Structure 1
């Protein structure tokens, strides 16, 4: 969400969304509140510090990680204060193990992606931390059904060896699908084991649909404007993986008719009728609303809520 006022964002979410609330991320507050900084606070047994080039794993938490942890704790205190009596879905976002590996550095300066053992340790730390985080959310909002969205925007680049090395002159070797599956599955199992629903979000054009469905995610969130609907999407949907189509532009205000047309066109190319499968669809923004303004973020969420209600009628 845009802006720096979490209380205001919680108010917007509560007013506009009834079936699925989410804990907002407000990256305008600084790197400590961004996707990577926020996710590092969840890790169990690993610490980090912010370096000029990127976040780096360290023996002890640096001042920026301590600030990130403090900020998240304050945010969750406010969520508990305002939403303690919420009955329904509550979503929390966290960066996935492959995206973290591609963006976070080892102590020597290379990305975690460069080291097989480090990738495994990071995924294990994330999995344990997510389980503890879900338990904390449940204590704060006991009536909520928790959904954990695992953000993996870097996954396609990791799989295709397109992540630059620290020098910029080379690319890290690919992480092959069996290893990627094992890392993702460890996180999925931790989420499900904590009693939450695991959902994955990837806003790239080449979403590895079969890999994500095979790893056990209950749903895949994506940008309908960049993916190519085809057999992998249809097969995953038929096999039971729900779809969260990103149909709402993040920056350009548009009307409900245009948004509905995007949804109908995508599902139509897969061979599925939207109305008949409405209970397995969640309409979303294409890739978050942090870059929008307060007015469009509010109107956009309201538009999606109306659209979802119409589909369910």
Structure 2
């Protein structure tokens, strides 16, 4: 059976209503909603910093920055941690009877390294030791985070979606330095793999399934699977042909592949479930795969997060995802 889910973010500020919408429209593979409209503490970076173990941060004019000392989180970091805990309380309350798969999202180590600053400025990406410390703190924090979710959702299989939108830019040296005049040096696959391995292993050992979301055209599927990812989430509309064969191998092996096909913001024209279904069928035909054979592994999603959409389109996008999955 092909299923549908969301990428994570939704518009609005009413968290309980967002959870109800997800549970109502995605009965087989719901996700913990993210509502960045509530402020920087609820953004993908702020939310993920709330998961870190033994590292504290504060908010500066240039963005999030590590404090350099444990036990000294800034007010915004404390707020991010508190907000995440409150959100999970709401999920636990409203999902008591839910027994499908549940997905939670966290920003990956390389996207965090390309986003968060060192205590004295510039991105963590510029410092090998800081990058290692961040990845290990994320891995350790995820063990606790997954254990907490398993306690709250005892009837559900858990997936942890590791968001790595910046990974291709990190690997090709496209991340700008703080000054904007230069670029951080590229990180090759052997150097990028260990940080991912620590995070994926922590998720797996805690009893959850690690999935990676990357909406860049050049998703390094082979690297991600080789590092321990059980599945990959991609935007089918921008996906480069180089990723087709690795995705086909992953589907044939039974690994989850989340295909982003529904627009993440309202399009100018009409979008029908039938046309989107045809798009997926053509993709599978191009890969030489039988839809019936890979249906269990295939998941239909919007192309990216829905934070930039209207509430009405977000609801429609999730409904379309579920309808396309039903058609398949």
1:148-187 to 2 correspondences below 5 Å: 148-187=160-199
| Distance across 1 between alignment mates of 2:118 and 2:155 | 39
1:283 aligns with 2:297: no
Q: Give ranges in structure 1 of 5+ residues lacking alignment.
A: none
* Structure 1 residue aligned with 2:50: 41
* Structure 2 residue aligned with 1:66: 78
Q: Which moved more, 1:43-52 or 1:226-235?
A: 226-235
Q: TM-score, normalised by structure 2?
A: 0.92
* Structure 1 residue aligned with 2:92: 80
Q: Is the 8 A contact 1:84 1:142 kept in 2?
A: no
1:234 aligns with 2:243: no
Deviation readout 1:201-236 (Å, 9 max, x if unpaired): 000011111111111111100100001233333344
Pick the aligned partner of 2:322 from 295, 301, 305: 305
Q: Give ranges in structure 2 of 5+ residues lacking alignment.
A: 1-9
1:256 aligns with 2:273: yes
- Report the CA distance shift for 1:250/1:109 in structure 2 as closer, same or farther (over 3 A): same
Pick the aligned partner of 1:192 from 169, 184, 204: 204
Q: How many residues align?
A: 311
Secondary structure of the equivalent of 2:196? helix
Q: Which moved more, 1:285-294 or 1:223-232?
A: 223-232
Q: Which moved more, 1:100-109 or 1:230-239?
A: 230-239
Q: CA deviation at 1:240?
A: 4.5
Q: Is the 8 A contact 2:231 2:250 kept in 1?
A: no
Q: Is the 8 A contact 1:224 1:262 kept in 2?
A: no
Pick the aligned partner of 2:143 from 98, 108, 131: 131
* Structure 1 residue aligned with 2:4: none
Deviation readout 1:119-175 (Å, 9 max, x if unpaired): 111010000101100110111121111110000000000000110111111111111
Q: TM-score, normalised by structure 1?
A: 0.96
Pick the aligned partner of 2:63 from 54, 62, 82: 54
Q: Is the 8 A contact 1:33 1:68 kept in 2?
A: yes
* Structure 2 residue aligned with 1:296: 313
Which structure's relative contact order is higher, taking Cα pairs within 8 Å and 6+ residues apart? 2
* Structure 1 residue aligned with 2:223: 211
1:6 aligns with 2:23: no
Deviation readout 1:39-66 (Å, 9 max, x if unpaired): 0000000000111112000021101111
| Distance across 1 between alignment mates of 2:51 and 2:78 | 12
| Distance across 1 between alignment mates of 2:189 and 2:147 | 30
Q: CA deviation at 1:287?
A: 0.5
| Distance across 2 between alignment mates of 1:217 and 1:37 | 23
CA RMSD between the two structures:
1.3
1:22 aligns with 2:31: yes
Q: Is the 8 A contact 1:247 1:259 kept in 2?
A: yes
Q: Give 4+ residue runs of structure 1 displaced > 4 Å after superposition.
A: none
Q: Is the 8 A contact 1:210 1:236 kept in 2?
A: no
Pick the aligned partner of 2:110 from 86, 98, 108: 98
Deviation readout 1:262-305 (Å, 9 max, x if unpaired): 21222222221223311110000101111111111112212222
Q: CA deviation at 1:3?
A: 0.5
